[in-house]
Amino acid sequence: QVSLADSGGGSVQAGGSLRLTCTISGRAYDSSGVGWFRQAPGAEREFVAVIRWGDGTTYYGDSVKGRFTISRDTTRNMLSLQMNSLQPEDTAVYYCARTPFLSSTYYYVLKNYANWGQGTQVTVSS
């Protein structure tokens, strides 16, 4: 059984930075992907970034490319999301999520992710 615990959210001004972390309990297989989605009020949950646990391959949503960096620490079973140049449109609840097999084609599809963290709020003010 895999469980995820995400943390690190907060409030920052536009242009600022935050770092989110996700602690993974249970075995993380090399083929699995662990990443982040976000959901703003009144909006659908949106793919942010994901990393394949074994080889570190990463995928990013278009809106965060060049600003966010996802990484993992396999010895500590932890996932991180470094968020730089934050903008008000980045305001959302951010969820850590895991898929047992990370597809190179459908990595952004919500229903492929079986395990979710409780979410952490990120608020960016202008």
Query: What confidence category does residue 63 fall into, taking pLDDT thresholds of 50, 70 and 90?
Result: very high
pLDDT(53) > 90: yes
The reported pLDDT for the residue numbered 62 is 97
Return the DSSP state at 110. G
pLDDT value of residue 28: 75
Provide, rounded to the nearest whole percent, the portion of the chain with pLDDT above 90: 94
pLDDT band at 26 (very low <50, low <70, confident <90, very high): confident
pLDDT above 70: percentage of residues in the chain: 100
Burial 59-82 (b: 16+ CB within 10 A, else e): bbbeebeeebbbebeeeebebbbe
